Structure 1
Amino acid sequence: MMKAIHMQLLKVASCCLVIGCLAIAVLVHGSEKAKADRPVVSVVIVGGTGDLSTRYLWQGFYSLYQGQKDKFSFDFYGAARMPASEGDGQLASILKHNVSCSKSVQPGLGCQTLLDAYRAMVSYRKLKTADDYADLCKEMEQEEAKEHGRLFYLSVPPFAYAGIAKNIAKGCRPESRAWLRVVLEKPFGHDHGSAEELATQLSAHLREEEIYRIDHYLGKIGVQSILPFRMLNDGNYKDLWNREHIERVEIVMKEKIDSKGRLEFYNEYGVIRDVMQNHLTEIFTLVAMEMPANISSRREFLNNKIRLLQQTQPVKPHQAVIGQYDGYVDQWREELGKGPSDETLVPTFTAAALYVENPRWKGVPFVLVAGKKLDERLGYVRVVFKDNAVCVTKAGRNGSVNRCSKHQQMIFYTGNPGLKYPAILVSDHLPKPMLPTSWSVPNNDPNTDIFGSNLSDFYYFSPPKDQDAYTSLIASCFHGDQKMFVGTDDLMASWRIWTPLLQSLENKRPRIYTGGEDTGTWLDFRVKDRTVKYIHEQEDPWESADAAPVFQSITDRFRSRPLVTGKEESVVAQLAQHLLSIAAESIQKRGSFHIAFPGGSTPRSLFAHLAKLSNLFPWEDTFVWMVDERCVPLTDDHSNFKQLHDSLLQFVNVPYLNINPMPVKLANGFCDASDKGAETYEDDLRQIPDGRLDYVLLGMGADGHVASLFPNHPTVGEKSAKVTLSDGGPKNNVPDRMTLTLPTINNARHAGVLILGKGKRDMVSTLKTEGVGDPLRYPVTGVDLKKGEQVWYIDHEALV
């Protein structure tokens, strides 16, 4: 046996540099000897040629090998579904170009030689079928006394977890006392139900202590410092760590990059599922949980963590705001091959407030913020303390104005701060913190701005060296330390908090933001009375589909119905916003949205709003109808349809077959009764779900007419027909019309009456009198939805 090994080594040495290869030979020879003496650990990376493995995992396992090579012998396998003829070359290339001493925890003397040996002991295996797993695990078998453990890292999509877990349990569980550990990458479900289903599938094959759900953010040194800092300073801050002294806690993860290149994944999960339900919620538990009496106890740590999550209230819709960077939809269409009318409402920015119902934290908002394409790449936890001090003189610390002008705060940087390394900062009016002796004070400009204070106003420290998160967590997994991994019970408790919010946001339109520094203060928000709201009020209906009116009203009722009033642009913006919300609701419930538009000059400003950001309205599922039409060619300037086409339809992607102009020109001319054009339109309307329009928009003339229902004309009293002909229009214009009748209008699910301008002031003044209700004299008073929502939209010029 040993002779054969020596012959192989001589062959290798003949085709490479003698010194380097002899060094490898010595190590390999040594490793053969070590296998006879040291316990063996087998490591399998399923998905070993993927992006995560390429960028982090193989480097992380090299660091593990460096640290444990004197105690354990290792066998490393990179596995994928491709045949060995392809996989061998890909894996060799990854190890050559992506694992290096420069990224190693021990980059010093001898690292390169050791790295060459590590590369040599990694082999590729095809893992596709149950037999493939059985063959590999048979190869892993060792004498009972030699086998220490088997580690499977599943760097594959979650849908594959259950099948792989079954194969591992069936053919790869060690028969000896050796341990089995299986590492899973997020996402761990899409909501509470899917996470529970996945957990049930895994529990059929793996024990809880064998499952390591990895959250790489928990491997960051800034995150790992939070709980030890709290424990070390329990005496200093124990009495301050509560609702009596803390105003709020901010947990923030900002990214400068966009989502391009990973739109298929990101669009399925969005910012909440991608980083908030997992990364930021995990950090929240480290800040807010009760300190374990024994920080090393997994059981005590987990019990305290789960108790906190159970005390945390599910996030309600009014406790969050969402945004989407401008251009996201275009990227999504391009990357996933979507059409120009396809839309996505996935948020790329979210701010949400968590509230804990326990004596320590009751009423304190834990504000979680995450977003793509923001002004900087930065992660931090910021604890903001209450300060009710009243300063009588200007003198503060060292003679400077301090305490009364700045918040006292504590900051844990968790990613890419301006300081040299992830650091902890504590306002110097708080007790001086205790820290490990290995930590140091970095050399930074004392005038560096830290949330409105100078760096010189803080005690600040940094750990000796930042470390790769995967390296840290791989080591924890190897040693069986599950504290920094996500268990089944805490996973379910976290999904309980976030699932209701996710469900409520499914059809909500996010606020569009420019991205980067150009976003300015557009995403700034305020947390008050357990409500999260953007500071900058909405003037554009496209920013949020179902927000409340954001401008002042003279009154909120008009003729016993809801009233929206303000400047013309504000009224029109709110109407557009209302339409957007109702469209989303209608499509969700019935699969389509049917709206009837009026003619005249009143709706032109609305059409301009709807056309401005045409890609945000669900036009593909919208059906356009007419409230009324003049008996002229559809290309005539007097045509209501021509106005609608020129102002709106030509700018949006509504399908041609979804557009329903009134048939005013048939065989015998314009609006000839013998052609039965009104009856034809009525038959078409009956095809709408339940025969009810989802929305009827109406203007109002100075004489009180709506649609083409004019004062003192018999069409106002029509009871049976849905559509009728009318000749009651102004004689100096185009008198003959086709119009919806009051029964059709009043059968709609929603109706809005839009009244703009000084010219309508007298009529509005008359209508203010509740007793005015004669439809024949004032047809607008006949609009009375008994089974639907009716809203008045009247600008200040008309409502005086």
Structure 2
Amino acid sequence: MVIFGGAGDLARRKLFPALYSLHRNQLIDQRFSVLGVGRSERSADEYREIVRDSINRYARVDVEDEEEWSSFVEKFDFVSLDVKTPAGYQRLREAVEERERRYTIPGNRLFYLAVAPELFGPVAARLKEGGLTESDGWKRLLIEKPFGRDYPSAEDLQAQIAGSFKEEEIYRIDHYLGKEMVQNIEVIRFANTLFENMWNNRYISNVQITASETVGVEDRASYYDRAGALRDMVQNHILQILMMVAMEPPSRLKPEAIHDEKVKVLRSLRRWRGDDVKRYMVRGQYTGGYLQEKEVPAYRDEENVPADSDNETFVAGKLYIDNFRWSGVPFYIRTGKRMEEKATEVVIQFKDVPKNLYFNKTNDLGPNLLVIKINPEEGLSLQINAKKPGTDNEVVPIVMDFCNNCQEESPEAYESLIHDALEGDRTFFTRWDEVSLAWKFVDPIRQAWDQEGADTLTFYEAGSNGPKEADALLIQDGFRWHSPYNPRTGSVVHGSPIGD
């Protein structure tokens, strides 16, 4: 495994801890080697100290046996080179081949690009020019997001990489797809007749997808102010979750069959342009406020953010999938920074029972909800209506709940993704046609906002649930955003359809 950016923040926070967890759980072959690549000069011992510090600070498992630790960390070494120049790749090839001989590795090479996006294409080309893509085993390329800045730039990047790697050798990471409950969506749907038979527009009134963060822009201002929430979250994470929720059952449990069904969702996704963007999409930016009784600054007051920035930190939208299963069902999405609570979740709201019946004379029954909690709580809750104990006919909502991480910590997303890449399983990586169609959906929205400028920007107070314009998207349809049941606090879902 060759990690470009081998001593960077991603490697320290995510990759080293993931590799160590895989090693401890015996999910990685003992004949492995990791070569970190970077510009700084480092000895093997210095690099191994970085790895140890990473494990001590960020790993979910502690080092308990020094002998076992030594057997793990001795597999790490470092190569100093400038990735923009061809000269260093000959030294890298020699280092790779020497490690393969030492550990009898059969030429299997995994190249991880934990570097700036503008280096993805040049590094892929240099790997081929330096002979590193030629071996007796397999070769695979792992790429972090963002994959392009829009469709034309993504297409250019794809062309550069395709000169060195085949599509089946390219693993584009969306770390949301490594999360336990995102991967569980397929099982919840297709392994339960109860849900799959009702997973359509006859029984579901709306779907809500939320990815909210309490943090601000932090140290990502230079990137984030050019990207915004639309590119940073909607184009990849939100649309990936939408595809998992809305896809048809695959013809077989093979990666290509699953990707085929996901692509069909994007092809059926109604695209917004011009006035449609004003009607169905909302963007916002946080102002100063309070989070957990602590005062936080406005986005424009954050370090390295221009004082007149009109970049969005919040996006909400109403989407439609124009196919037989989902015709007429609104998919409401929202994502934002400096929100009231950190939560990634999917809420499936089923249609109401008929009004004015015996149990619904006052038309105030809460809806049946299936809530898929992705992060930080992981689990599943189903809200139904039942008679309140001790009363004649008072109906109250009750929740049946499953908590996936209450008793035992779930594996980190990067553990699952690195393991899948080593096994050659591309199920939870993004295929090129998914990336391209996602950009084709997002680009017209971005263009409409750019043309209108600051006039399209709304504002919301830090520590709130976003701008009121996002609430209006649902209110006009008779719905409202849901905050789901929390298994740790026992609080029941609130929010219900708004009466006439």
- Quickly say closer, same or farther: Cα 1:488–1:99, change in 2 above 3 A: same
- Is contact 1:101–1:115 with CA below 8 Å preserved after alignment? no
Taking a change above 3 Å as real, the CA distance of residues 519 and 453 of structure 1, as seen in their structure-2 partners, is farther
Corresponding residue to 2:180 among 210, 213, 221: 221
Residue deviations 1:352-381 (CA, integer Å, cap 9, x gap)? 122111111111111110000110111100
Query: 1:459 Cα shift?
Result: 4.6
Unaligned runs of 5+ residues in structure 1 are: 1-42, 431-451, 535-800
Q: Give yes or no for contact 1:54–1:98 (8 Å, CA) kept in 2.
A: yes
What are the within-5 Å matches in structure 2 for residues 716-755 of structure 1? none
Q: Which residue of 2 aligns with 1:408?
A: 368
2:155 to 196, 204, 210: 196
Partner residue in 1 for 2:258:
301
Of 452, 460, 485, the residue aligned with 2:429 is 485
1:314 matched to 2:271? The reply is yes
| Distance in structure 1 (CA, Å) of the matches to 2:285 and 2:404 | 35
**Would you say the 8 A contact 2:2–2:34 is kept in 1?**
yes
Counterpart secondary structure, 2:303: helix
Decide whether aligned partners of structure 1 residues 59 and 453 sit closer, same or farther in structure 2, where only a CA change above 3 A counts: farther
How far the C-alpha of 1:249 sits from its partner, in A, is 0.5
Q: Distance in 1 between matches of 2:115 and 2:449?
A: 28
| 1:57/1:513 CA distance change after superposition, 3 Å | same
1:121 maps onto 2:75 in alignment: yes
CA contact (8 A) 1:525 1:532 kept: no
TM-score, structure 2 as length reference: 0.82
What does 1:349-368 align with in structure 2 at a 5 Å threshold?
A: 349-368=314-333
Which amino acid counterpart does residue 314 of structure 1 have in structure 2? R
Q: How does 1:5-44 map to 2 (within 5 A)?
A: 43-44=1-2
Residue 391 (structure 2) aligns with: none
Q: How does 1:630-669 map to 2 (within 5 A)?
A: none
Give the Cα–Cα distance (whole angstroms) in 2 for the partners of residues 381 and 337 of structure 1: 32
Partner in structure 1 of residue 14 of structure 2: 56
**CA distance 1:189–1:533, shift in 2 (3 Å):** farther
CA distance in 2, matches of 1:55, 1:67: 19
Among 469, 472, 475, the alignment partner of 1:525 is 472
Once residues 522 and 326 of structure 1 are traced to their aligned partners in structure 2, the CA distance between those partners, rounded to angstroms, is: 15
Question: Does the C-alpha gap of structure 1 residues 146 and 246 become closer, same or farther in structure 2, counting only changes over 3 Å?
Answer: same
CA contact (8 A) 1:320 1:533 kept: no
Q: Give the SS at the match of 1:302.
A: helix
Equivalent position SS for 1:375: coil
1:511 to 442, 452, 458: 458
Aligned CA distance change for structure 1 residues 403 and 121 (closer, same or farther; 3 Å): farther
Q: Distance in 2 between matches of 1:74 and 1:190?
A: 34
2:489 alignment counterpart? none
By how many angstroms is 1:204 displaced? 1.6
Equivalent position to 1:335, from 278, 286, 303: 303
**Contact 1:319-1:531 within 8 A present in 2 as well:** no
Cα deviation, 1:758-787, whole Å, max 9, x if unaligned, reads xxxxxxxxxxxxxxxxxxxxxxxxxxxxxx
1:385 aligns with 2:353: no
Q: Structure 2 residue aligned with 1:82, among 25, 29, 40? A: 40
When Rg is computed on C-alpha atoms for both structures, the one with the higher figure is 1
Matches within 5 A, 1:366-445: 366-390=331-355, 392-394=357-359, 405-417=365-377, 422-428=378-384
1:500 corresponds to 2:500: no
Q: How does 1:167-178 map to 2 (within 5 A)?
A: 167-173=126-132, 175-178=134-137
Correspondence 1:690-709 to 2 at 5 A? none
Structure 1's 514 and 175: CA in aligned 2 closer, same or farther, altered over 3 A? closer
State whether residues 31 and 105 of structure 2, in contact with CA within 8 Å, keep that contact through their aligned partners in structure 1: no
Q: Is the 8 A contact 1:365 1:530 kept in 2?
A: no
**Distance in structure 2 (CA, Å) of the matches to 1:467 and 1:258:** 26
SS in 1 for 2:284: strand
**2: distance between equivalents of 1:429 and 1:260?**
43
**Counterparts of 1:428 and 1:222, CA distance in 2:** 21
**Shift of residue 67, structure 1, vs aligned partner:** 4.0
- Give 2:291's aligned residue: none
Q: Hey, what's the Cα distance between the residues in 2 that align with 1:78 and 1:459?
A: 43
Q: For 1:670-709, what aligned pairs fall within 5 Å after superposition?
A: none
Q: Which amino acid is 2:354 matched to?
A: A
1:250 partner SS: strand
Q: Structure 1 residue 404: deviation in Å?
A: 5.8
SS at match of 2:270: coil
CA contact (8 A) 1:386 1:408 kept: yes
Residue 240 of structure 1 aligns with which residue?
198
Q: CA deviation at 1:205?
A: 1.7
Instruction: Label 1:135 to 1:453 Cα distance change in 2 as closer, same or farther (>3 A).
Output: farther
Partner amino acid, structure 2, of 1:285:
M
Tell me the distance in 2 between the aligned counterparts of 1:206 and 1:531: 50
Query: How big is the shift at 1:406?
Result: 0.8
Segments of structure 2 that go 5 or more residues without pairing to the other structure are: 289-295, 387-394, 482-500
Change (3 A) 1:206 1:500: same
Deviation at 1:56?
0.8
Contact 2:204 2:351 in 1 (8 A): yes
Correspondence for 1:280? 238
Work out the CA distance in 1 between the residues paired with 2:479 and 2:152. 27
**Equivalent residues of 2:284, 2:467 under 8 A apart:** no
State the alpha-carbon separation in 2 of the partners of residues 393 and 495 from structure 1: 49
Q: Distance in 1 between matches of 2:113 and 2:299?
A: 29
Q: Is the 8 A contact 1:81 1:126 kept in 2?
A: yes
| Aligned position for 2:497 | none
Q: Is the 8 A contact 1:263 1:332 kept in 2?
A: no
1:133 matches 2:89:
yes
Q: 1: distance between equivalents of 2:362 and 2:157?
A: 53
SS in 1 for 2:217: coil
The AA in structure 2 aligned to 1:52 is: L
CA gap 1:69/1:284 in 2 versus in 1, 3 angstroms: closer
Determine helix, strand or coil for the equivalent of 1:153: strand
Aligned length: 452
Aligned partner letter, 1:78:
G
Following superposition, the deviation at residue 472 of structure 1 comes to 1.1
Residue type matched to 1:525 in 2? A
Gap change, CA 1:323 and 1:532, over 3 Å in 2: farther
Give the 3-state SS of the residue equivalent to 2:240 in structure 1.
helix
For 2:217 and 2:301, how far apart are their aligned partners in 1? Answer: 13
Is the 1:426–1:458 contact (alpha carbons within 8 Å) kept by the matching residues of 2? yes
Secondary structure at 1:99 match in 2: helix
Equivalent position amino acid for 1:271 in 2: A
> Residues 402 and 46 of structure 1: is their aligned pair in 2 closer, same or farther, counting only changes over 3 Å?
farther
Closer, same or farther in 2 for the Cα pair 1:81/1:62, shift >3 Å? same
Amino acid in the other structure paired with 1:362: S
Q: Which moved more, 1:123-132 or 1:65-74?
A: 65-74
Secondary structure of the structure 1 residue equivalent to 2:345: strand
Once residues 165 and 250 of structure 1 are traced to their aligned partners in structure 2, the CA distance between those partners, rounded to angstroms, is: 38
Q: State the Cα distance separating 1:460 from its structure 2 match.
A: 3.3
- 1:467/1:334 Cα in 2 relative to 1: closer, same or farther (>3 Å)? closer
Please name the residue that 1:347 is paired with: 312
Amino acid at match of 1:515: A
Q: Is the 8 A contact 1:387 1:408 kept in 2?
A: yes
Correspondence for 1:99? 55
Given that residues 281 and 317 in structure 2 are in contact (C-alpha distance below 8 angstroms), is that contact kept between their aligned partners in structure 1? yes
Distance (whole Å) between structure 2 residues aligned to residue 486 and residue 132 of structure 1: 30
Query: Is the CA contact 2:212–2:341 (under 8 Å) kept in the aligned structure 1?
Result: yes
Structure with more relative contact order (C-alpha pairs < 8 Å, separation 6 or more): 2
One-letter amino acid matched to 2:474 = V
The 2-side partners of 1:256 and 1:81 are apart by: 34
